A = this chain, B = another copy of it.
Amino acid sequence: MVRLKEVAALAGVHPATASRALNPQTAPKVKAATLERVKAAALELDYRVNTQAANLRKKRSGLIGVVMRDFTNMMLPIMFKGIEDRLRKSGYVALLGTTYADADRKRDLYRTFMDRRVDGMIVTYADRIDEDLERVRSARVPSVLINRSTLSGGESRVLPDIAIAMTQIVDHLAGFGHTEFGYIAGPENSAMSDRKSEAFRAAIGRHELHVGEERMVRPVLATDDEGERIALRLLTQHPELTALVCSNDLLAIGALRAAAKLGLGCPKDISVSGFNDIPFLDRIEPPLTTASIPHYEMGYAAAERLVREIAGERDLESEIVFPSSIVVRRSTGPVRA
């Protein structure tokens, strides 16, 4: 094993300086030229910090648990990049785990992360009342939710401004003369889905319209297959529908597929909108009208919030809201005659 003082000797600096240079949290305080010299020496000697032992002494792991639900939703990898970019700056590393709406898998994942003594958690899915998250909180491990909230509301969260985006989508469709709306909601058992449904209802109410419960359907997972299944049923049972608002882009992609299967033209017979603006929606046919939310920035902000809380900062805001707004493409148009 190469030792720190050998690195310091090669770089021509005091061992304490070498130590500061090799610790990501103190490195920014070291002069750039010195930093480069120490890093080059460490590389040349193949010096490795035993982070595991060092962290155990400091009673921190330097690990952040990141929980994703359905990682194949393309906005999550972008969010993850924001998270990772911010964590790196403070020397944290992300443990990533996915749950795919499996309660046992989710419980195991939280347990694993807690067993690993993560210093904090970033979570992109939570149940309305989330027992796993409650355990994290009662263990006093800081956590931040992205794009989610819980009924208990005790968490820190980073959210898009749903109300404005949903109002813009409904106004846009009402402006095209639509009055017969259907809504494919967010997944069951999610307080964020509730918020979106409320935002949709409020937006509809502003036009003195009403959408009955039978036209507002909740999927188990927000996937394209679920969107197709639900849209097939909605469009068959309610042939009067001319606008289908979806709480997520994957659901909307499934709805487009359902419309095509039923021989309905989009937007000629049915207008469809999504939510989130995942990549390549401009390339699908028809290009999807949706609400854009800043995925990267939300991930970055959540990590920033978490790192500050771990560092002991007080009086941090519990909710950070990012703007979101409609992106009009060709999947929405005038109501059919």
Q: Footprint of B on A, CB under 8 Å?
A: 43, 46, 48-53, 55-56, 61-63, 66, 71-72, 74, 76-78, 80-81, 84, 88, 93-98, 100, 107-108, 111-117, 135, 138-139, 224, 253, 256-257, 279-280, 283-285
The answer to whether B48 touches A115 (Cβ under 8 A) is: yes
Chain A to chain B contacts (Cβ below 8 Å), 23 pairs: A43-B107, A46-B138, A48-B111, A48-B114, A49-B115, A52-B52, A52-B61, A62-B116, A63-B95, A71-B77, A72-B78, A80-B96, A80-B98, A81-B98, A88-B108, A93-B113, A94-B96, A95-B96, A224-B280, A253-B283, A280-B284, A284-B284, A284-B285
Q: Which of B72, B88, B135 contacts A74 (CB 8 A)?
A: B72
Least distance between A61 CB and chain B CB atoms (Å): 6
Q: Please give me the residue from chain B that is nearest to A287 by CB atom.
A: B285
In the bound complex, how far is the Cα of B256 from the Cα of A308, in angstroms?
44
Q: Please give me the residue from chain B that is nearest to A100 by CB atom.
A: B81
When distances are taken between beta carbons in the complex, the residues of chain B under 8 Å from A84 are 96-98
When distances are taken between beta carbons in the complex, the residues of chain B under 8 Å from A93 are 95, 97, 112-113, 116
Least distance between A150 CB and chain B CB atoms (Å): 19
The answer to whether A53 touches B56 (Cβ under 8 A) is: yes
The answer to whether A72 touches B279 (Cβ under 8 A) is: yes
When distances are taken between beta carbons in the complex, the residues of chain B under 8 Å from A56 are 52-53, 56
The answer to whether B96 touches A52 (Cβ under 8 A) is: no
When distances are taken between beta carbons in the complex, the residues of chain B under 8 Å from A49 are 115
The answer to whether B51 touches A116 (Cβ under 8 A) is: yes
Q: Which of B52, B66, B280 contacts A117 (CB 8 A)?
A: B52
In the bound complex, how far is the Cα of B93 from the Cα of A108, in angstroms?
11
4 further A-B pairs in the complex, CB-CB below 8 A; given A48-B115, A52-B55, A74-B77: A66-B96, A71-B77, A76-B77, A285-B285
Least distance between A139 CB and chain B CB atoms (Å): 8
In the bound complex, how far is the Cα of B51 from the Cα of A59, in angstroms?
13
When distances are taken between beta carbons in the complex, the residues of chain B under 8 Å from A117 are 50-52
In the bound complex, how far is the Cα of B95 from the Cα of A52, in angstroms?
14
Are A71 and B81 CB-contacts (below 8 A) given A51-B115, A97-B93, A115-B48?
yes
When distances are taken between beta carbons in the complex, the residues of chain B under 8 Å from A115 are 48-51
Are A96 and B96 CB-contacts (below 8 A) given A77-B72, A135-B46?
yes
Least distance between A201 CB and chain B CB atoms (Å): 29
When distances are taken between beta carbons in the complex, the residues of chain B under 8 Å from A55 are 52
The answer to whether A256 touches B279 (Cβ under 8 A) is: no
